Copies of this chain bind each other. A is one copy, B any other.
Amino acid sequence: MQPIIIKVGGSEGIDLDALCADVASLVHDGVPLVLVHGGSAETNRVATALGHPPQFVTSPSGFTSRLTDRKAIEIFEMVYCGSVNKGIVERLQGLGINAVGLSGLDGRIWEGKRKKGLRAVENGKTRIIRDTWTGTVERVNVELLQSLMSAGYLPVLTPPGCSVDGEAINVDGDRAAARTAAALGAETLMLLSNVPGLLKDFPDEDSLIEEVPPAEFEAAMEFAQGRMRIKMLGAKEALDGGVSRVILGDARHASPVREALDGAGTVLLGG
């Protein structure tokens, strides 16, 4: 049976208790799963409390991104690998699911190149920031994940990833989940966040696009705003990698995974 890869975001309004109950019920039904999670809102809270608030930079093309300097990646690890990951593993263990929480560093589950520098515009001048710990997943350790799954464990994965040189790198969770889905030959990738799916008229939640056939993907991409652009990019990578469908769903619901499988949200179909 092909696994389902579920990514749940780390934004405000997401109910991890409901998510874990739903995941546990699917696992009890025998569905093979990998869970991937984020942790951005909590990271921002902890980083601010520790006196190192989140920093953002603007690229020459006007795109804003988070600056992950060394202190930031260390706080990121605390929250993603410590608080959020172990919080999810504990919830699942309490529901009788033998979860194993791992970051992309562990066993080099998510390996990729570290970016050499980040071009940032400040006061009209472009400079290169070297103290940045970010990158993109290029290789997934399928053997380790499959060996855990075949032994009955539920992998719960979180950034950071691992650079080729073994450094922690901030990798995008949606795109890492997409890579994982393609590498594991998953049938379905589910990207759950705090919106109903892809909206034709953002932020009007009544303008949900229910289904996107392959021929309409590029056109649908035009509607994606902000974070949804990254999710669509991840979705494209998953579909190109052989995943049959990507579901963009709402993690604020009482039964977020079941509802998404039953057709709530946006379904993006592979070719």
Contacts and interface: CB of A to CB of B under 8 A. Distances in A.
Contact of A105 (B74, B80, B90, B160): B90
Interface string A52-91: 0000000000000000000000100111111101110110
A271 interface: no
A159 B168 CA distance: 22
A90 B167 contact: yes
Interface stretch (A8-16, A93-101, A116-124): A93-101
B82 A108 contact: no
- Chain multiplicity (copies): 2
Contact of A83 (B51, B78, B103): B78
Given A147-B147, A166-B95, A105 B79 contact: no
A50 B83 CA distance: 14
B100 A107 contact: yes
A219 interface: no
A151 interface: yes
A83 B93 CA distance: 22
A93 B102 CA distance: 14
Given A78-B78, A82-B80, A86-B77, A166 B94 contact: yes
A144 interface: yes
Interface in A159-189: 160, 162, 165-168
A106 interface: yes
A59 to B, nearest CB: 27
A222 interface: no
A49 B46 CA distance: 10
Contacts of A217: none
A250 to B, nearest CB: 27
A162 B97 CA distance: 12
Nearest to A105: B89
A83 B94 contact: no
Contacts of A80: 82
A62 to B, nearest CB: 33
A77 B90 CA distance: 11
Nearest to A101: B106
Contacts of A160: 86
B94 A167 contact: yes
Contacts of A85: 81
B78 A74 contact: no
Contacts of A107: 98-100, 153
Given A86-B103, A107-B153, 11 more contacts: A46-B50, A46-B78, A49-B49, A77-B86, A81-B81, A81-B82, A86-B168, A90-B166, A92-B166, A93-B108, A93-B162
